[in-house]
Copies of this chain bind each other. A is one copy, B any other.
Amino acid sequence: MSCDYLINNKEMARQNGIVQPLLTDLYQITMAYAYWKSGKVDDTAVFDLFFRTNPFQGEFTIFAGLEECLKFLENFHYSDSDIEYLVQTLPPNIEPEFFEYLKDLTCKDIKLSAIEEGSVVFPRVPLLRVEGPLIITQLLETTLLTLVNFASLMATNAARYRMVAGKNVSLLEFGLRRAQGPDGGLSASKYSYIGGFDGTSNVLAGKMFNIPVKGTHAHSFVTSFSTLDDLHTAVLLHAETQKQCNLLELAVEWRRRLSAVIDVSPEEASDGELAALISYAQAFPSGFLALVDTYDVKSYAFLNRSGLLNFCAVALALNDCGYRAVGIRIDSGDLAYLSVLARDTFHQVAEKFQLPWFNHLTIVASNDINEETILSLHEQGHAIDCFGIGTHLVTCQRQPALGCVYKLVEINGQPRIKLSQDVGKVTIPGHKEAYRLFGADGHALIDLLQRSSEPAPEVGQKVLCRHPFQESKRAYVIPSKVEHLYKIYWKEGRICTFPKPLVEVRERVQSSLRTLRQDIKRNLNPTPYKVAVSDDLYTFIHELWLQNAPIGELS
C-alpha cells in the first residue's frame, strides 16, 4: 500500500508538471481575452470532441485518455508564475482585471460527459461533450485534444496488433527508445497495455501504472564477453540440493554432446557468447531467456547456429542444476524460418535427452515488426510465442496522428454549425445524446445521434436512422438492446463518475471489440460501421445549414 501511494504521487507530480493550463495554444488565451472584453463572460457553450476518420485505414477506434482529462480538470489553475508569463507575453494594453479573472479560474462550472474509456468508437460520435461558461470551455480545447488524440491512437494501434497476433501469442511493447521523447514513451506503454499488450520493457511505466515489465539482455551483453576466461565465476547452487554446480563445465560438456543433434561443431560456436549466456543464467537461473543471434551471421550461403547451440548447452546445464530455461529471443533475419528451425531443434533435443519441456520453450521475436509482418508470418507459418514490438507500435507508423477536433455546437442555448466546402467537415449542431443499438445476436448495429430533447430509443421499437448528410440513405432499426453512450464524469468542480482502473479499461477494450462484427474489424477492406442521426436531428441540421449558407451568385 505504501508503494501504491508513492506511485500515485509520482504520477501526480508528472501530471502537475506538464499537464497544466499553459499547455495550450496561445489562441485559446487570446480568444478568452476577446470574450472577456466583449462581455461574453456569462455566455454558456457546448463543445463536442470527436474525430472524422478512423485511423490505420480501419473502421474502428478505441477511446482512451479520459482519466488524464479528468486529472487535468481537477488541477486546472493558473499559477502566479503563469500569470506573470502571460502578462509579459500578451500585448501591453491587456486590462489587468483579465489576469485577476484568470487567476481565479477553475473548472467548477464545467460539466463533462463522455463515452466510457476503452470503448470502441466511431467517426462523428462525440467522445467528450463539454458544457459550461464559454471562456473556460474554450480554454480546455487544446489540452483535451492532446490527451485524447495520442492515447486513443495508441490504444487503437495496440488493439489492432492484438487482433492480428491472435490469442495465443504474447505481445510486449519495446518502443521507449523510438518514442516521441520521455512522456511519449510512457504514454505509449500505458495505452499499448490498455489496447491489449501483455507488458512493456519500460520500467518507469511499470512502476507508475503497474504494468508487467519484461526484458532480458541485449547484443552488447553478449559482445562484452570475448572468451570463456571473461567469466570470473561459474558456480550455481542446485535448486533443490543446494550443492555447488559448475555451470561452465556442464555447459561445455553439453555443447560437445549437442553437436550430434544440432549439427554445429563446438569450434564454430562463439566462446564469448557461451560465457555471456552462462553469466546471464547464473544471475537468472529461473528466468533464462537468451538472445541467440549475436553471432548468427550468414557468412557465405548457410546459417551459423552458434547462438542456438550455446543456448541449448546452457539450458541443459541449468537443467542439471534443477532449473528450467525459459527460451530464446531472435532479433534479426527471417523470423519465420529461424523460429521454425529453433523449434525443430528444441524438439530434437527434447527427444534425444528425454526432456519433454524442451518442446515448449518460449520463442520471442523482435525486429521491426508491424501488423503486416505478423500477418505475413502467420501465412508463412512460424513458431513464435511472443512478439516484442517497438518503433511501429509507438510511433503509429501507419498513421502518426488521430485527428480529433473540438467544435462549438451550441451557445446560450442556440445551436451552432461549422460549414465547410468538404461535407465531411460540417459539424452536427446542438446538444446531443448518443446511443448504440444492438441486434438480437449481441452485435452492435449502429450508433445513433439524437437531439437531447428527444426520447431515447427503446428496445423492440422501430427507429428511423438516417445518414447525416445523404438524404436517401435511411434504415429502420429495431434494437434488441440500447446503450446510452454518455455518462457525466465531471460536475460541480469534482469527478462524479470515477474512471475505472487500468486493468478494467483494458478488459473493456476486449469486451467492447467483441460486440463488433468480424468484417468491421478485419485488416483488409473492413466494412464501415454505421453512424446515423435521428429523423429529428437530420431535419434540424439541414434547416440550420440552409440558414447559414447564403445563396451565392454564379459569375
* Chain B residues closer than 8 Å to A548, beta-carbon distance: 270, 295
Determine the interface band of chain A, counting residues with CB < 8 A from chain B.
35 or more
CB distance from A360 to the nearest CB of B (A): 20
B-contact bits for A118-150, CB 8 A (1 contact / 0 none) = 000000000000000010001001110111011
CB A193 to nearest CB in B, in angstroms, measures: 14
Residues of chain B contacted by A38 (CB below 8 angstroms) = 231-233, 279, 282-283
Is the Cβ of B3 less than 8 Å from the Cβ of A85? yes
* A177 and B202 contact, Cβ closer than 8 Å, known pairs A284-B91, A548-B295: no
Asked whether A455 is an interface residue with its Cβ less than 8 Å from the other chain, the reply is no
Given contacts A23-B182, A151-B181, A184-B181, is CB(A283)–CB(B33) below 8 Å? yes
User: Within 8 Å CB of A298, what residues of B?
Assistant: 421
- Is A176's CB under 8 angstroms from B268's CB? no
> Is A515 an interface residue, CB under 8 A from the partner?
no
A25: which of B17, B201, B233 is its contact (CB, 8 Å)?
B201
Alpha-carbon distance between A151 and B180 when the two chains are bound, in angstroms? 8
- A397 sits at the interface (CB 8 A): yes
- CB-contacts of A383-442 with B (<8 A): 391, 394-397, 400-404, 406-408, 411, 414, 416-422, 425
1/0 per position for A191-208, CB-CB distance to B under 8 A?
A: 000000000011110110
Contacts of A332 in B (CB 8 A): 420-422, 425
Q: A295 to B17, alpha carbons, bound, how many Å?
A: 39
> With an 8 A cutoff between CB atoms, is A179 at the interface?
yes
A335 at interface by CB-CB < 8 Å: no
User: Which residues from B are CB-within-8-Å of A418?
Assistant: 219-220, 223, 294
- The yes or no answer to A457 lying at the interface (CB within 8 A) is no
| Chain B binder among A6-14, A489-497, A500-508, A531-539 | A6-14
Contact of A37 with B282 in the complex, beta carbons under 8 Å: yes
Contact with B along A208-227 (1 / 0, CB 8 A): 00000111111111011010
Stretch among A40-48, A249-257, A351-359 lining the B interface: A40-48
The winner among A25, A88, A93, A176 for most chain B CB atoms within 10 A is A25
- Write the nearest CB–CB distance from A372 to chain B, whole angstroms: 16
Given A34-B283, A182-B18, A224-B45, residue A177 in contact with residue B149 (CB < 8 A) = yes
Smallest CB gap from A275: residue in B: B38
Nearest opposing residue in chain B for A414, CB measure: B226
Chain B residue contacts of A476, Cβ below 8 A: none
How many of these chains are in the complex?
Answer: 2
- A212, closest chain B residue (CB): B89
Q: Which of A245-302 contact B (CB under 8 A)?
A: 267-268, 270, 279-280, 282-287, 294-302
> How far, in whole Å, are A33 and B22 apart by their CA atoms in the complex?
42
Chain A 39-88 interface residues, beta-carbon cutoff 8 Å to B: 39-40, 43, 45, 47, 81-82, 84-86, 88
B396 touches A216 (CB 8 A): no
CB of A174 within 8 Å of the partner chain: yes
Digit string of A300-337 for contact with B (CB within 8 Å is 1, else 0)? 11101010000000000000000000000000110000
Contact partners of A182 in chain B: CB under 8 A: 18-19, 23, 143, 146-147, 183
Residue of B nearest to A427 (CB): B223
Given contacts A27-B201, A551-B299, contact A177 B145 (CB under 8 A): yes
Q: Give A214 to B30 CA distance when docked, in angstroms.
A: 10
Chain B residues, Cβ within 8 Å of A400: 391, 395-397, 400
Q: Is the CB of B217 within 8 A of A34?
A: yes
Docked pose: A14 CA to B14 CA in angstroms? 7
Contacting A34 at CB < 8 Å: which of B10, B282, B414?
B282
Contact across chains for A178 and B403 when beta carbons are under 8 A apart = yes
Please determine whether A213 and B93 come into contact, CB atoms closer than 8 angstroms: no
Tell me if A553 is interfacial: C-beta within 8 Å of chain B. yes
- Cβ-defined contact, B18 with A207, below 8 A: no
Measured between beta carbons, the chain B residues less than 8 angstroms from A456 are none
Q: Is A555 an interface residue (CB 8 A)?
A: yes
In the assembled complex, A479 has its CB within 8 A of some CB on chain B: no
Instruction: For residue A335, give the distance in angstroms from its CB to the closest CB of chain B.
Output: 13
Given contacts A203-B24, A419-B295, contact A217 B178 (CB under 8 A): no
Chain B nearest CB from A284 CB (Å) reads 6
Q: Sample 28 A-B pairs with CB under 8 A, ordered by A number.
A: A6-B84, A18-B204, A22-B207, A23-B182, A24-B203, A25-B174, A34-B217, A35-B224, A37-B282, A38-B279, A85-B207, A141-B220, A146-B177, A146-B185, A149-B177, A180-B187, A183-B184, A220-B408, A224-B411, A297-B419, A297-B549, A298-B421, A299-B551, A301-B554, A332-B420, A391-B400, A395-B395, A400-B400
Closest 3 CB pairs of A and B: A183-B183, A26-B215, A39-B232
Q: A27-B217, A301-B554, A332-B425 are in contact. List 20 more A-B contacts (CB 8 A).
A: A3-B85, A22-B207, A37-B283, A38-B233, A81-B207, A82-B207, A85-B203, A86-B203, A91-B287, A143-B182, A146-B179, A146-B182, A147-B181, A180-B180, A181-B186, A220-B406, A223-B411, A295-B419, A302-B554, A302-B555
